[in-house]
Chain A
Amino acid sequence: MRATVATPDETTRKPPRVSSRRLTERVFRIRESGIIVVLVLFVAVTVSIQPRFASQQELHFILANTTVFALLALGQTMVVVSRNVDLSVGSVVGLSAYLSASLFGKVHGIPIVVVFLVGLAIGLAVGVANGLMVAIGRVPSLVVTLATLYIVRGIDILIVGGNEVVAQTLPNAFIQIPRAGVYGVPYLAIAVAVVVGLGAYYLRSYRSGRELYAIGSNPEAARLAGIHVGRRVFTAFTVSGAIAGVAGVLWAAQYQTVDSNAGTGYELTVIASVVVGGVAIFGGSGSAVGAAIGALLLQTINSALYVLGISPFWDQAIAGLLLLVAITLDRVISLRLSAALRRRSSGVGT
């Protein structure tokens, strides 16, 4: 880094436009390429120890597990990028999974689409409530969504009680949703990848998407720039809630047995995925694609440890370690970057 940064600035006082652009671009590329490198290394090491890991079934298992988290990561990215956080997603997944899946038993022959719409509606309702309290009530999102985490989980437990939805009540077409695929790649995973890609493209190339980054980068400046901060933040929470609602239905299709514990703790895994995927926890930068890859990495580690016969305790410990590494890298990179940029922009002296 040093060698390229230290261009001789005393000789040419021309502004270093090209090199400073390269510098920023390189850092942004590092953000996502770093995690891909970790992912590849992890898979390579695991396969070399336990070749069984390189099977289609394993690939299918990992991707199927990742879909729910990658979807949630998309919604969470929108929220985190605007310097907020949505802790309620795990509870929403649980409530939506139970209510939607139980419909199959209650209403005979209900179309699957309607079930998805019910899940979506549940998520929307919570998302709207979160969004209103954060955007209009000006309550910190950490508090608001912590509250809805408990409230929604409480409602879930009230409704579910000791019951559970069992696989027999679910139609085969529904159960097949996360299972159908080619060469070990579920169609659902492809669909989720497309959705995440579209989401990332929206965040990158549309005004309202960029405004979320602007809000997260400097909320006061966003207000002064005439951005409708409340409206944008509200939208982010609504989308995150809606996605969690849909993810809940997919969760039911994936795991088939739904009790009142469904989705417990998912919010933390999702936030970990997002941060490991390079989204700055204080907003302003990072992409949904990175977040989805972060989710994939965490699920891969999970499966790899299982295949290697290592205690699942290590799964959480490694996830925590990765979080620390991601946050440290984030900090180091931004410090280095601003120092480097300052050095070149000040040019002579200082």
Chain B
Amino acid sequence: MGADGAAGTGQSGHSGPASSSEPGSSGAGAAPPGPGSPAGPGTPRGPVQPVSQDPAGPLLSLVHAAKSFGAVHAVVDASIDIYGGEAHALVGENGAGKSTVVKMLAGVYQPDAGELLIQGRPAVLAGPAAAQAAGIAVIYQEPTLFPDLTVAENIFMGRQPLLAARRIDRRLMRTEAAALFERLGVHLDPARISRGLSIADQQIVEIAKALSLEARVIVMDEPTAALSAAEVARLFDVVRALRASGAAVLFISHRLEEVFEICQRVTVMRDGRQVLASELAGLTADDLVRAMVGREMPQRTAGERSQPGDEVLRVERLTREGVFTDISLHVRAGEIVALAGLVGSGRSEVARAIFGIDRYAAGTVTVRGKELRRASPAAAMTAGIGYVPEDRRQQGLVMDMSIQQNVALASLARLRQGGFIRSAAERAFATDWAQRLRLKYGRLTDPVSMLSGGNQQKVVLAKWLGRRPALLIVDEPTRGIDIATKADVHELLVRLAGDGVAILMISSELPEVLHMGDRILVMREGRLTAEYSQADASEEKIMSAATGQLERAG
């Protein structure tokens, strides 16, 4: 809520329990609130001074930190002050250095220059264990749990309550875990094994772990990227509970509306530097975007839209039991069809079936008039389909291979000479596409895992574009991608459509759906429930079709 954000900022001068510096105390922030509390004597840090400062000083500061990996300067000059009782946003493009900052706070990396202050005292975090001991907990984008162990064990690994003779007290461990979930206001069974937990629940387990560690600073690295709206709401309740207990939350997100909803202060990074540090009150999303990218977001204008040509894809009555039912759709050349719906409504599964990854029970897929063989990605590729999956790390890229190898992966037939891949041809091919897509990289021979998420996505796109597909299926093309790269990706898709490529785009972001889709199809629980042209689509209409508030539409 905006109201909450405003209230929070009003109190951002309040000191929380940071005045009581013992890390064990978790009493509510009972210190006198004071919008006019004396501005702390904090030394000037970073190009822009924080507007308000806690008299007790920040819980955690990074001062002019730098970190390089070989020739890549991931972080040049990063400063950030995090105070108790606040949710602090860290925003910036992908590749701006946020992840590196997170890893420095987590003890995974040590800064090459600059220093880390914990409650004003210089500290060196030699490893994750040291960061944990210092009261810093990191909730990663993809939580790292032990799938074979119980939820309670995941929380207390290495710190299990003990009985005599150092035996683990399982019962106490479970009741303590239950108590933590109680504090967070969520329902999870401590005794179940964690395999099969949703991402949201996995994050909750990680947060419970942070709580049990008495963490004072909880870093959340894009926690909402894979959550549904209800799960985001639950997470934000948890964040508020954490703030109320005096802890600091460092919140990293690309969704600026979330930043404004939950955070009080913000640090913006660009190209490895801190470019803005301020209270959020009084700022607009545009201000942040400008600070992040240094330019305005481009808009797709009506003039760019091309006239759709011949039908490229026709799907008739496609059915896979229990997953999707009776899906019929078509995409024409030069047209972008957006497939909207809630997470789990079967959109990705339809895409996977079209591309031949999953077998379908009934129906047909026709590409340029020719019916496609079932369950054969090779046939789909031959027919001219490119598929950019939702999970690019697992399904879209070979993370250990180089950028150039990944780009060339789908075009090997073209780069082959006498049965061997010519490295020079591969290189030229990859260089060409890297430039066209404005890829940011060190060397083309670097493993693709070194790239930021947005640039990885560009590599996946390049891989398929190299085949000159007639139909491109993109699943959540901009998930977890920063705004500038997102704009690049959008621009690219529009340009492709202009060149006559048919595009089927799955997206959970309504603005993206409305902005990009010439036609918008909505799925709910495995069925198509609505179709809108761009002119008469609206967020409300799409949401109601996706949630079932209108049963028949379009």
**A210-B149, A214-B149, A224-B128 given; A205·B196 CB < 8 A:** no
Chain B residues in 8 Å Cβ range of A349: 342, 344, 525
Give bound CA distance, A226 to B189, whole Å: 24
**Contact at B158–A207, with CB atoms within 8 Å?**
yes
**Contact at B192–A24, with CB atoms within 8 Å?**
yes
**Contact at B189–A221, with CB atoms within 8 Å?**
no
**Contact at A225–B158, with CB atoms within 8 Å?**
yes
**Contact at B145–A341, with CB atoms within 8 Å?**
no
**Contact at B153–A210, with CB atoms within 8 Å?**
yes
Partner-contacting stretch, out of B160-168, B235-243, B355-363, B437-445: B160-168
Q: A342's contact among B108, B145, B167, B196, by CB below 8 Å, is which?
A: B196
**Contact at A225–B148, with CB atoms within 8 Å?**
no
Chain A residues in 8 Å Cβ range of B144: 218, 220-221, 224
Chain A residue with the shortest CB-CB distance to B153: A210
Q: Is A334 an interface residue (CB 8 A)?
A: yes
**Contact at A226–B167, with CB atoms within 8 Å?**
no
Chain B residue with the shortest CB-CB distance to A284: B148
Partner-contacting stretch, out of A14-22, A124-132, A253-261: A14-22
Q: Is A59 an interface residue (CB 8 A)?
A: no
Give bound CA distance, A223 to B158, whole Å: 11
Give bound CA distance, A280 to B147, whole Å: 13
Q: Is A139 an interface residue (CB 8 A)?
A: no
Give bound CA distance, A217 to B160, whole Å: 17
Chain A's nearest CB lies how many Å from the CB of B347?
Answer: 13
Give bound CA distance, A339 to B195, whole Å: 9
Q: A222's contact among B146, B191, B192, by CB below 8 Å, is which?
A: B146
**Contact at B157–A210, with CB atoms within 8 Å?**
yes
Give bound CA distance, A91 to B418, whole Å: 47
**Contact at B146–A214, with CB atoms within 8 Å?**
yes
**Contact at A225–B189, with CB atoms within 8 Å?**
no
Chain B residues in 8 Å Cβ range of A225: 128, 157-158
Chain B residues in 8 Å Cβ range of A267: none
Q: What is the interface of chain A mostly: helix, strand, loop, or mixed?
A: helix
1/0 per position for B71-95, CB-CB distance to A under 8 A?
Answer: 0000000000000000000000000
Chain B's nearest CB lies how many Å from the CB of A290?
Answer: 14
**Contact at B197–A345, with CB atoms within 8 Å?**
yes
Chain A residues in 8 Å Cβ range of B197: 341, 345
Chain A residues in 8 Å Cβ range of B162: 207
**A17-B189, A218-B146 given; A206·B167 CB < 8 A:** yes
Give bound CA distance, A132 to B146, whole Å: 25
Chain A residues in 8 Å Cβ range of B108: 224
Chain B's nearest CB lies how many Å from the CB of A291?
Answer: 16
Chain A residue with the shortest CB-CB distance to B191: A21
Interface residues of A in 3-54 (CB under 8 A from B): 14-17, 20-21, 24
**Contact at B145–A221, with CB atoms within 8 Å?**
yes
1/0 per position for B185-215, CB-CB distance to A under 8 A?
Answer: 0011101110111100100000000000000
Chain A residue with the shortest CB-CB distance to B209: A225
Give bound CA distance, A210 to B148, whole Å: 11
**Contact at A280–B158, with CB atoms within 8 Å?**
no
Chain B's nearest CB lies how many Å from the CB of A260?
Answer: 40
Q: What is the interface of chain B mostly: helix, strand, loop, or mixed?
A: loop
Interface residues of A in 249-290 (CB under 8 A from B): 280, 283-285
Give bound CA distance, A213 to B192, whole Å: 16
Q: Is B48 an interface residue (CB 8 A)?
A: no
Q: Is B384 an interface residue (CB 8 A)?
A: no
1/0 per position for B138-157, CB-CB distance to A under 8 A?
Answer: 00100011111110010001
Chain B residue with the shortest CB-CB distance to A218: B146
Q: Is B127 an interface residue (CB 8 A)?
A: yes
Q: Is B129 an interface residue (CB 8 A)?
A: yes
**Contact at B146–A221, with CB atoms within 8 Å?**
yes
Interface residues of A in 223-237 (CB under 8 A from B): 223-227
Interface residues of A in 178-227 (CB under 8 A from B): 205-207, 210-211, 213-214, 216-218, 220-227
**Contact at B129–A284, with CB atoms within 8 Å?**
no
Chain B's nearest CB lies how many Å from the CB of A177?
Answer: 30
**Contact at A24–B193, with CB atoms within 8 Å?**
yes
Give bound CA distance, A270 to B358, whole Å: 39
Chain A's nearest CB lies how many Å from the CB of B173?
Answer: 10
- The residue among B108, B158, B198 with the most chain A CB atoms within 10 A of its own CB is B158
**Contact at A226–B166, with CB atoms within 8 Å?**
no
Q: Is A56 an interface residue (CB 8 A)?
A: no
Q: Is B132 an interface residue (CB 8 A)?
A: yes
Give bound CA distance, A78 to B291, whole Å: 53
Q: B196's contact among A223, A280, A341, by CB below 8 Å, is which?
A: A341
Give bound CA distance, A207 to B165, whole Å: 12
Q: Is A338 an interface residue (CB 8 A)?
A: yes
**Contact at B189–A338, with CB atoms within 8 Å?**
no
Chain B residues in 8 Å Cβ range of A340: 196
Chain B residues in 8 Å Cβ range of A341: 192-193, 195-197
Give bound CA distance, A337 to B198, whole Å: 14
Chain B's nearest CB lies how many Å from the CB of A197?
Answer: 14
Chain A residues in 8 Å Cβ range of B525: 349
Chain A residue with the shortest CB-CB distance to B193: A24
Give bound CA distance, A16 to B192, whole Å: 10
**Contact at B196–A339, with CB atoms within 8 Å?**
yes
**Contact at B195–A350, with CB atoms within 8 Å?**
no
Q: Is A346 an interface residue (CB 8 A)?
A: yes
Chain B's nearest CB lies how many Å from the CB of A149?
Answer: 28
Chain B residues in 8 Å Cβ range of A211: 157-158
B contact set with A: CB distance below 8 Å: 106, 108, 127-129, 132, 140, 144-150, 153, 157-158, 160, 162, 166-168, 170, 187-189, 191-193, 195-198, 201, 342, 344, 525
A-B contact pairs, 8 of them (CB 8 A): A15-B188, A207-B158, A218-B145, A221-B144, A225-B157, A226-B158, A227-B157, A342-B198
* 8 tightest A-B CB contacts, nearest first: A226-B129, A341-B196, A284-B148, A221-B144, A15-B187, A217-B146, A17-B189, A338-B196
A contact set with B: CB distance below 8 Å: 14-17, 20-21, 24, 205-207, 210-211, 213-214, 216-218, 220-227, 280, 283-285, 334, 337-342, 345-346, 349-350
